[in-house]
Amino acid sequence: MDPIIEFRDFTFQYKSQTEPTLHNINLSILPGEKILIAGPSGSGKSTLAHCINALIPAAHPGSYTGTLTVGGAVPKDAGVFGMSKIVGTVLQDTNGQFIGLSVGEDLAFALENDAVVQDEMKARVSEIADIVNVRKFLHHAPDELSGGQKQRVAMGGVLVDDVKILLFDEPLANLDPATGKKTIALIDEIMKAKDVTVIIIEHRLEDVLYRDVDRIVVVNDGRIVADMKPDELLCTDILSGQGIREPLYVTAMKYAGADITPEDRPQHIETMEVARHAGKVRKWFENAPVPAHVNDQAPVLEVKDVSFAYNAGEPVLENVSLTLRKGEMVSLVGRNGAGKSTLSSLICGFYKPDRGEMFLNGQDISRLSIKERGEHVGYVMQAPTQMISKPMIMEEVGLGLQVRGVPEEEIKERAGEVLKICGLYPFRNWPVSALSYGQKKRVTIASILIMNPEIIILDEPTAGQDYRHYTEIMEFLREINRKTGITILMITHDMHLMLEYTDRAIVLADGKILADETPAQVLTDEALCDSADLKKTSLYDLAVRCGIEDPSEFADRFIAYERAAKRGAGEGADR
């Protein structure tokens, strides 16, 4: 069988760069394969994707040596339009992909361009809407949809052209765990139903492995580091060596000294052979340190019986009460549309609650303006474009200090330090427009961190970022939390972030708080995870299959041990 995608000795250099971004790439992908491409930010993953769909060189000029063929065509010669008939690309930010005023119009766009007759067009749109399960939204505007629904529409928009290849650029970055799981399942179903080749570029490797993939291609520094079957790759240290997060159960078994082999089939914890390793895992658990979860500091923020509705009779929040203590790191979790961002907006004063009270350090804040609350509470929005207002990175990061009259030299020094922590210092003199989505996200975080607020609320702080930058930012947040006592509330879909970096998890569903527990207790409670569309941690399955009676304690000890492994013994259980 001939490859549907083939790179041969392919080297590419952007016109604006002095060195190649891709080096001597040799990669063959067969028709019907599902390939996961993983690697740290800046490794060349997106450049590979842009070569496949002809955005390189059409939108990103440069020169290359070697050859590349995709579906029998040469992307450079076929151009973006020609390749769009072969490769359907689903972007990380689906908002940038919509054309029509309604879902139906958006699905029909490619057909309209091809002058398809109306009856055939309607039948085709109806067929695709059923495949991606958006028929009931055909008359809705795209901006009325949830993140998962937008993903489905974006998939439909490229499937309508009968493409041979589906290319997904971080499809899970902005989705809650349950929606992400459904997205991966849908990709798998579409692949089988339409007989297409699938390429997924994603940082959340364990989530992609919810369904089988044929190969994982690891990229770093513009080179292919590994091209292996998942069961083979997970037995090595290649992923961790390249700064890519392994599935948690694999890491836990390695900590326990288990010698995992491909015959154990480690791609899925549900079907993995764990029996021969169970004794080592139990012994490790018994000897691992027991972390403490104690914070007896005074409350810094109290929310009491708060209710809110955008439209009368349609409550978004109902009688919500919570307390944040000084120095805590707390996660706020739940499905898309649960009310998490609305609650944060109420705390910041963007909206006023219909009922209830809020207190900051014991003082009622109902009379404080947005600006006055901003002196105490910093808010980092989910979408970077909602916050960025300056063209240059240094200007954007220093803006908050500038409007408060801080001297220019101090602004420059403080901005430089924050940019180093956020992994952006080499780009400090770049325009914001030249950055990737993940890099723009880090700019917005830096612009809030520089203000040293009393409370920081971060809406999906690590979405779209690789494990190295995720760790740098989270370690920085933990460090300022320890040194200054700043309280940090994180809205997140990242269950590992919730486990590793937060003291408590507040679970919100349908505008009500379902639980306020330790992250390990939340993510090992199957009923609670199902109710709130969370993803039960694979550490739960590993613990159960190894005969450990308290899966939540196992998860807690794993996190404590991992901290010790990262930052040195003695710090691991300091929580």
> 119-123, 319-323, 357-361, 393-397: which has the minimum mean pLDDT?
119-123
The pLDDT tens digits for 210-241 are 999 999 999 999 999 999 999 999 999 999 89
The CA distance from 268 to 216, in Å, is 14
Residue 170: CB partners within 8 Å, gap ≥ 6? 92, 201, 202, 203, 464
> Is 349 within 8 Å of 326 (Cβ atoms)?
no
Mean pLDDT calculated for residue range 413-442: 86
- pLDDT value at residue 574: 42
The CA distance from 279 to 296, in Å, is 38
> Is 28 within 8 Å of 143 (Cβ atoms)?
no
Sheet holding 363-364, edge to edge: 314-325, 299-311, 355-360, 363-364
Residue 167 vs residues 84, 87, 103, 126, 131: alpha-carbon distances, Å: 11, 7, 21, 23, 17
Q: How confident is the model at residue 251 (pLDDT cuts 50, 70, 90)?
A: very high
> Is 507 within 8 Å of 528 (Cβ atoms)?
yes
- pLDDT value at residue 394: 95
The share of the chain scoring above pLDDT 90, in percent, equals 52
Angle at the Cα of 177 from the Cα atoms of 174 and 178, rounded to 5 degrees: 115
- pLDDT value at residue 567: 66
The CA distance from 135 to 103, in Å, is 9
Helix, coil or strand: residue 503 = coil
The secondary structure of 11-23 as a DSSP string is: EEEETT-SS-SEE
The pLDDT tens digits for 261-318 are 999 999 999 999 999 999 999 999 999 888 776 777 889 999 999 999 998 888 899 9
pLDDT above 90 for 445: no
Mean pLDDT calculated for residue range 474-498: 85
pLDDT above 90 for 72: yes
What is the pLDDT of the chain when averaged over all its residues? 88
The CA distance from 286 to 557, in Å, is 9
The CA distance from 315 to 309, in Å, is 4
- pLDDT value at residue 293: 66
pLDDT above 70 for 374: yes
- pLDDT value at residue 570: 38
pLDDT above 90 for 466: no
Provide the whole-model pTM: 0.80
Q: How confident is the model at residue 568 (pLDDT cuts 50, 70, 90)?
A: low
pLDDT above 50 for 572: no
Mean pLDDT calculated for residue range 138-152: 81
> 37-51, 76-90, 143-157, 277-291: which has the minimum mean pLDDT?
143-157
pLDDT above 70 for 7: yes
The pLDDT tens digits for 487-507 are 999 998 888 888 888 989 999
Mean pLDDT calculated for residue range 374-388: 85
Query: Chain centroid to CA 221: how far?
Result: 22
Residue 30, phi then psi, degrees to nearest 5:
-90, 155
- pLDDT value at residue 506: 96
b/e map 362-389, b = 16+ CB within 10 Å: eeebeebeeeebbebbbbbbbbbeebbe
- pLDDT value at residue 575: 39
